[in-house]
Amino acid sequence: MINSQLKKIAVFTSGGDSPGMNACIRAVVRTAIYNDLDVWGIEQGYKGMIEGNFRQLKSSSVGNIMQKGGTILHSARCQEFRTKEGRKKAYDNLIKMGIQGLIAIGGDGTFKGAEIFTKEYNIPFIGCPGTIDNDLYGTDFTIGYDTAINTAMRAIDNIKDTAQAHNRLFFIEVMGRDAGFIALRSGIATGAEAVLIPEKKTNIEALISTLERLHKLKNSSSIVIVAEGDDEGGAFEIARKVGEKFKEHEIKVSVLGHIQRGGSPSCMDRVLASKLGLEATKALITGKRGKMVGQVNSKIVFTDFQRTTKHNLTINPSLLEMIEVLV
């Protein structure tokens, strides 16, 4: 059913930025305008909602932004939105602006905030999954994940060149505080000797045994990919522990850090972001609320906010097997 009362909506990005957010903003804006809606952008996510930082977006406002990383609406963490007083300020500003529906582009924290807000106030929310971690239930891939793993892959390939030139053991830390999806796929794609992720307890002794065995077989450099949330404390700490018993090797550590968040989004991310932005706007128009739009098996699906944040994706066991078998 078409919501004929819907005249003005707003879009914002929240939490960590991810490549493709701009393409999603563009799709929301142009779909809204195509359907005769006014569309406004909220600067700096929930922080901007509380501070009343709104600006109207026209079709020209989102021209020539698809290829840019980051987000033209900027993003911010907002502790004040965690309070009832902060959310009341946000609500008052939305009412003052006449906003009748919201599209939130972000990840786990963004949707938790949206879930609470929709329970307290009667303003429809639709979410678009924008996070490089790919850890949201209800979509095969999140906006920014494809770009992030390709960025990590290219960086690791470059490090492998110098590792082989000097016969070094490299520990490379990638993003993934709570999820190992980036580490796992980039590790498979670069032929890493081991991948350490939050979802699987790290056994330092077993890692050392593996590296010693592979060194005897191949007598070459080795690469170990470490997700930042690994239970042993990250790449530097693991390298220190391994180095104590693996003294014959020169050990180096590289932390890729926020290089994975930036850069021009891949074709896959631009298309996914555009598709989800369009479908999110259509969902508001047809009266949906409190749901994240995602793509599963190439089909658009809608998942309640609560399920996206409490039923995170699990690691595919076959990917873990690939690491063990193909080294």
Alpha-carbon 194 to chain mean position: 23
Supply the DSSP string of 48-79, one letter for each residue. Answer: HHHHT-EEE--GGGGTT-TT--S-TT-----S
Choosing from 133, 135, 146, 230, the catalytic residue is: 133
d(CA 313, CA 137): 5
Burial of 204 (0-12, 13-18, 19+ CB in 10 A): middle
Does the annotation mark 133 as catalytic? yes
For 146, the 3-state DSSP assignment is helix
d(CA 324, CA 193): 8
The sign of the CA dihedral 114, 119, 123, 126 is positive
Q: Which two tokens stand for residue 221?
A: 């450099």
Which residues lie below 8 Å from residue 142, measured CB to CB, with a gap of 6+?
Answer: 18, 107, 129, 130, 131, 132, 133, 134, 135, 136
CA neighbor of 32 nearest in space, from 278, 324, 325, 256:
278
DSSP 8-state assignment for residue 118: H
| Residues with a known catalytic role | 133
